[in-house]
Structures are given as C-alpha cells and as structure tokens.
C-alpha cells in the first residue's frame, strides 16, 4: 500500500518540486521509498509502504520502452494468475510485483484491464503514445483517489492534502457538501467538502485526454437471490471466506488482525488462525462501561489462541489526538469510531505492516439492526398511499414521546424518505433551524445522493434496497474512508477479506429470507462460522470499537466543546446560540444530542486545519513505525529520504 499523486497538463511541463511537495504531504502512506516520473506535460509522484517484493517494487514503473507508466496503491490478489497469462502472451517481467502486472495488462487490454482485477486499488496509468491518463478505483472503494480539473489539466492524489500542495488549488468549503454532510456525517461520492475537488467513485475509471474527461462505471454491485437450500449457502460462504482470507495473506512483511467483540473480525481471525499464528489488536476507552470491547476481545483471543495486545484510551488522550484525526481524514467524517481505528492502528503498527479486518460483512450479509425494520413495517405496505400519508399526519399530532408514535410515523413514510443510510444526523428541517446557508430550489439535497439508487433498485425488496444504498454510500463514504485514512496515518496496510468480488458473488445470491432469519441478522454468515467460533461469539451483538462520546460530552469533553462552539468563527456557518443550547440540553440530560454536536464539532475542527489555518498539523511517520522499519530493513532504515519522526 502506498500514496500516489500526479499531474497531467495539456500544455507546459510539470515541475519536479511540485511533485516532491505533493509526495511529502503523504509521507505517512509510504515511509519506505519515494519515486518520481517526469514526462512531457505529465508527472507522477509516489510514496511506498513495502509489502510485496520489498527490493524490486520501486515506483513509478514502466513497460520495456518507457511508453506506459503507472503509479499504484493497493494489492491485486489475482496478480500471479494474471502474470502467468501475460508471460504466455510473451511479456517479460523484471519484478515480482502486482504493479508490473498492471503495466503489461494495460498493454493487452487498455482501460478494460480493470475488469480483470481482484483486489483493492487506486492507480494512474500514463499512455505516452496516446497522451492519455487513466485513473481507476476498486469495486467497493477500499482505496481512495481524489482529483481536480485545472485550467492546465488534471491533478490527482491518494489524499486531498497532496492536491492542495499543487499550484492554484485553493481550499474552499462547498456549501452543498456541508449541507449533505450534516445528514450523512460524511460527504458522499463523488463530492468532497472542498469546492472543485472530487472523489473518483468506487468501481469507476476516468480517462483524461487533452483536457477532455470521460468518467464511467466498470462494475455494478447488485443482488440476484437464488432459491437454494440454506446449507448450500452456508457451505459456499464458509469456503469462499477461507479462500479470500488465504488470498489476502499474501505479503513479504509481518501481518496481524484487528479484533473487536463481534462475529466479523472474529471470523477473519479464526480463519487466519487455521493457517498461521496471529497477532491481534483491540482498543477500548475509559468510561465505556458495558460497551467496551476489551474484555470480549480478550476472551475471544484466549479461545482462538492469538498473540493479543490491547490499549485503553482516556478522554484526555482522545481529545489530544483529535487534530491529527481531522488532518489525516482530509475532510470531516463524524464517526467517533474513526479515532478508535487510529489508536488500534497505532498499537498494531509497531509490530506489523499489514492487518486484516472485518469491514463489509454487515453490508454484504445483512448485519445492521436497521435492516430488520421493513419486516416490522410490512403491514403498512398493504395500505393505499393516501391512507399511509393520512396516518402519518394523524401521528404527527400525537404527543411527542407517546408510545407507538415513532412507529406510525416511520410506517407512514416510503423507504426512500425514511432511510438515507446508516447515519441520518440532521433532518432538512433541523438544518434550516441553525445552518446559515440554505439550498435554493435547484438543489435536491440528500435526495441527489439516494434517489438515483432507489430508482436503480426499485424492483428489489426493501431490505435489499437498504443494503445497496449502504454499499454505494455509507460503505465507501464512512466505513472504508476512515479505515484507510486511520491505518495509513500509522503507515499500516489494512485488508478487508469480506470486500472481495468472489465473496460478494456468493453473498448477492442469498435470499433476504435467509440473510435475516428468525430476527437474526447475518444469519447465513453466523451459521457458516458456527464450527470455527464459539456460539457466544458468533451470536454476539456488534459493537464496533464503541467510543463513549455521549458521556464525555457531558463531562470530560464538555469544556472543550463549549469553548469551540462559543467562538465567533462559528457564526460564518451556524447559529451559535442554537448549538450552545443543544450542548447545555445534552449536559443536563434533557436530550441526547451527542451525534449532532459531534458532527458539527468535527466540521469546525476540520475547518480550523484546512480552511482558516488556525490549527497546524504536519504529516509524520510514527516512531513505532520507524522502529518496525529498523527491524525489517536494518539499522538506519528510519533515516530514509523524506522521513520525519514524531513521538506518539
């Protein structure tokens, strides 16, 4: 895993110093090596985290005559099979890397090469004879890739902070993105919080030539349920997961796994343990009480026999690292568990360079509790639309908090109106009460994100529609974004065996009735791992590295939150008094406003770093990572070009 950046211009050359500055901003993504390519009107920069073919994997990499160049971030799990095929076609290889496979596969298939890849990836290929730039991102959006169009051409990078090092790219808030962020707790693809900067969406490729851009989807996630017995699906899921974990183990450096309390990460660890001894890592927080993962994870590690480490984080330490969190995320993501990932990645990065984790299981196999809601609301489906609307109007007149009122309100609404993904922080009406900018009639708001998905999947049942909305929004925008940014902040490669095209090909065939059976989420997955996990683990409710922000905002973090919300800079975007009133209500227990307050606070902290510049954070390589490099590559490895050290 690495960090990539580059520029393609219609006219004029690219300055080497610009590439160096862009690469320096992402040094944490690749502390082991750097490399550059300069051509006519094009330049690539690269920071490497050495995982496969440690000695031979220098990038940028080219074909034999230097006409095709690539910079690549990620792992291709079927690269050895593709390499054998390419050798049979007459291609000659100089390294044992998956990067070189991309070069020769492009020579054979052009931009269609993405359809042959199994893995996580974000890459750029420069085709000098055709003067064409190809950008591509993996099927689920595991690896990030950002770009912006300039008067001269196109600039791309693994992280936005790298783009901002290029001349002429300004950091300005996009109001529409802020509006949507306040609902989703992240900015959905393809937008970012920055005006003019976009994400390349998952399963998309972009072709740039002489200033013209063609953006297209190369793969579509969808479900096609099959009528087959439960035991058939159980066996298929177990075997495809075994094969996926085996494929995701490929590396020439030490690896481990994150371990929480639930079935997802425990499944990955158990399957790894069938093949080798495993180092596992967990994080907990002071004040988490019954929501702590620590004891559950320790018990699972003891049963599975792993080499386990964990760390408990205080509220003070949490607050101390928040500026780093906001900086490394590039744009605000108001998921408190992001910093849990930061701390567990910091813990693991001293020992291993690669970790496997359980992200994606909930979206593929039906794991979120909210997915059960359509089953409880089935009675409303038989009512005419007019009756449903009338029932909703009547329910709105009932006293707030009255038993059954919320059930009637949700049942009276269409799925597309009530479900915009796993996070639904502020409604449009709530935003109008305190946000200074409000959309005009031409801006569709959150509907612009979800309506096309509901239209595309209109013929599917509601549970499947919810899963597909999450796969296309929540999964890349929140789950995978924080997973990549928080691990790479600690120079650690994260791999997610559930998010594999072969695993998805099995999951998409499971009927809804088996995904959620007898009120149990992820039923087929739980049955598939019954023989390799204790029942207490396979049936345990998901926690997902919980963080006690609700309590901390009443106690340990209250003063910090009040000070930030009281600053006059808040007035540029929000009604200060409205926010301070919500904070006081939360402190006094008159309501639970933790998620709403946290969403605003994370935007303000991000703004302090990237827009106003009131808070300064610099990219660094953690001291634990430098010690790991010395163990792997010998004394003096930490003194490599462009490296900075800091003490966590």
Binding-site positions for ATP read 283, 357-358
* CA–CA dist 611, 608 (Å, integer): 6
DSSP labels, 515-567: HSBTTBTTHHHHHHTTTTS-HHHHTPPP--S---HHHHTTTTTHHHHHHHHHS
Of the candidates 1, 2, 49, 364, the residue annotated as catalytic is 2
CA atoms within 13 A on the CB side of 477: 28
C-alpha torsion 606→607→610→613, nearest 10: -120
646 is catalytic: no
Hunting for tokens 């890397």 — which residue is that?
A: 97
Q: Six-digit token pair at 633? A: 């590559």
Q: Distance between alpha carbon 629 and the CA centroid of its chain, in Å? A: 26
DSSP labels, 4-52: EEEEEESSSPPPHHHHHHHHHTTGGG-BSEEEEEEETTEEEEEEE---S
What SS3 state is found at 280?
strand
Vertex 107, ends 106 and 110: CA angle to 5°? 50
Feature table: binding site for L-glutamine: 98
Q: For strand 42-48 and strand 2-9, is the pairing parallel, antiparallel, or unpaired? A: antiparallel
Feature table: binding site: 98, 283, 357-358
Q: Distance between alpha carbon 267 and the CA centroid of its chain, in Å? A: 20
The answer to whether 489 and 28 are in contact (CB under 8 A) is: yes
Q: How far apart are the first and last CA of the chain?
A: 22
Q: Six-digit token pair at 95? A: 């390294």
What SS3 state is found at 575?
coil
In what side-by-side order are the strands of the sheet with 119-127? 61-62, 68-76, 119-127, 132-137, 204-209, 212-217
State the catalytic residues. 2
């Amino acid at each position: 895993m690495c960090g990539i950046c580059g520029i393609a211009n219609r006219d004029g050359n690219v300055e080497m110093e610009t590439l160096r500055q862009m690469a320096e901003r992402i040094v944490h993504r690749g502390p082991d090596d750097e490399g550059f390519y300069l051509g006519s009107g094009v330049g690539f920069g690269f920071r490497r985290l050495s995982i496969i073919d440690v000695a031979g994997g220098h990038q940028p990499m080219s074909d034999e005559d230097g006409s095709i160049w690539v910079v690549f971030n990620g792992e291709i799990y079927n690269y050895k099979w593709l390499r054998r095929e390419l050798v049979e076609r007459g291609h000659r290889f100089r390294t044992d890397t998956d990067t070189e496979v991309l070069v020769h596969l492009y020579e054979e298939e052009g931009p269609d090469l993405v359809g042959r890849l199994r893995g996580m990836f974000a890459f750029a290929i420069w085709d000098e004879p055709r003067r064409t730039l190809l950008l591509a991102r993996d099927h689920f959006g595991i690896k990030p890739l950002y770009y912006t169009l300039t008067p001269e051409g196109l600039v791309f990078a693994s992280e936005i902070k790298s783009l901002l090092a290029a001349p002429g790219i300004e950091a300005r808030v996009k109001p529409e993105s802020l509006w949507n962020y306040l609902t989703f707790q992240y900015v959905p693809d393809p937008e970012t919080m920055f005006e003019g900067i976009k994400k390349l969406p998952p399963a998309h490729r972009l072709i740039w030539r002489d200033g013209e851009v063609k953006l297209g989807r190369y793969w579509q996630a969808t479900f096609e349920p099959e009528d087959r017995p439960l035991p058939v699906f159980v066996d298929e899921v177990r075997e495809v997961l075994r094969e996926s974990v085996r494929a995701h183990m490929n590396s020439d450096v030490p690896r481990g796994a994150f371990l929480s309390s639930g079935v997802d990460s425990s499944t990955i660890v158990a399957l790894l343990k069938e093949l080798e001894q495993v180092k596992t890592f967990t994080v907990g927080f002071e004040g988490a009480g019954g929501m702590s993962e620590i004891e559950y994870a320790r018990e699972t590690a003891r049963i599975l026999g792993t080499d386990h480490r964990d760390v408990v984080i205080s509220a003070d330490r949490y607050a101390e690292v928040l500026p780093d969190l906001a900086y490394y995320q590039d744009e605000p993501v108001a998921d408190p568990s992001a910093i849990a990932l930061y701390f567990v990645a910091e813990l693991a990065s001293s020992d291993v360079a690669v970790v496997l984790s359980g992200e994606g299981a909930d979206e593929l196999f039906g794991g979120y509790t909210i997915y059960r809601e359509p089953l409880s609301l089935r009675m409303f489906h038989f009512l005419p639309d007019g009756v449903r609307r009338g029932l909703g109007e009547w329910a709105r007149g009932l006293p707030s908090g009255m038993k059954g009122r919320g059930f009637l309100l949700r049942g009276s609404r269409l799925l597309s109106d009530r479900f915009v993904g796993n996070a639904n922080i502020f409604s449009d009406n709530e935003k109008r009460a305190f946000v200074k900018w409000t959309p005009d009639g031409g801006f569709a708001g959150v509907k612009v994100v979800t309506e096309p998905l509901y239209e595309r999947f209109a013929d599917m049942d509601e549970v499947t529609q919810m899963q597909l909305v999450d796969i296309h929004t929540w999964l890349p925008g929140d789950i995978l974004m924080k997973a990549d940014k928080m691990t790479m902040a600690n120079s650690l490669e994260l791999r997610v065996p559930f998010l594999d095209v072969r695993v998805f090909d099995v999951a998409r065939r499971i009927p809804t009735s088996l995904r959620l059976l007898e009120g149990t989420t992820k039923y087929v997955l739980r049955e598939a791992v019954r023989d390799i996990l204790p029942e207490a683990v396979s049936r345990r409710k998901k926690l997902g590295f919980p963080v006690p922000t609700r309590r901390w905002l009443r106690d340990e973090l209250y003063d910090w939150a009040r000070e930030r919300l009281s600053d006059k800079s808040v007035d540029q975007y929000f009604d200060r008094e409205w926010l301070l009133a919500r904070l006081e209500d939360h402190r006094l227990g008159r309501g639970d406003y933790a998620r709403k307050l946290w969403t605003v606070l994370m935007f303000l902290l991000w703004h302090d770093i990237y827009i106003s510049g009131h808070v300064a954070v610099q990219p660094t390589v953690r001291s634990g990572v430098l010690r790991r490099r010395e163990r792997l590559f010998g004394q003096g490895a930490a003194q490599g070009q462009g490296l900075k050290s800091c003490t966590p």
